[in-house]
């Protein structure tokens, strides 16, 4: 029986979670998106949790993670 979903207020920030044992079963793009989301969240926290920079954080996280992946794949 599935767990009932609980509703959260709209203003609650939920940190993305990863499940290392399950990561291999998911497509790489999804795992990469989770990694970018987690890094963007860390950037947000490092900046003192100030709002209004979500796109900047996401793009910075992509540059850091996907740039590193591109350079190691070559």
Ordered per-residue pLDDT tens for the chain, 74 residues: 666 666 655 666 666 665 555 555 555 666 689 999 999 999 999 999 999 999 999 999 999 988 765 555 55
The reply to whether 9 falls in a domain is no
Structural domains counted in the chain:
1
The reply to whether 51 falls in a domain is yes
- Looking at residue 72, its pLDDT comes to 58
CB atoms within 10 A of CB 40: 23
Domain residues for the domain of 45 are: 28-73
The reply to whether 44 falls in a domain is yes
- Looking at residue 4, its pLDDT comes to 61
The reply to whether 23 falls in a domain is no
Kindly write down the DSSP assignment for every residue of the chain, as one continuous string.
-PPPPPP--TT--------HHHHTTS-HHHHHHHHHHHHHHHHHHHTTS-SS-HHHHHHHHHHHHHHHHHHHH-
The reply to whether 18 falls in a domain is no
The reply to whether 7 falls in a domain is no
The reply to whether 22 falls in a domain is no
- Looking at residue 61, its pLDDT comes to 94
């Amino acid at each position: 029986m599935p767990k009932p979903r609980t509703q959260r207020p709209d203003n609650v920030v939920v940190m993305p979670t990863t499940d290392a044992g399950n990561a291999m079963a998911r497509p790489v793009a999804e795992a990469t998106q989770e990694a970018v989301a987690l890094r963007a969240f860390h950037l947000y926290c490092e900046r003192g949790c100030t709002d209004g920079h979500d796109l900047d954080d996401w793009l910075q996280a992509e540059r850091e993670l996907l740039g590193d992946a591109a350079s190691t794949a070559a």
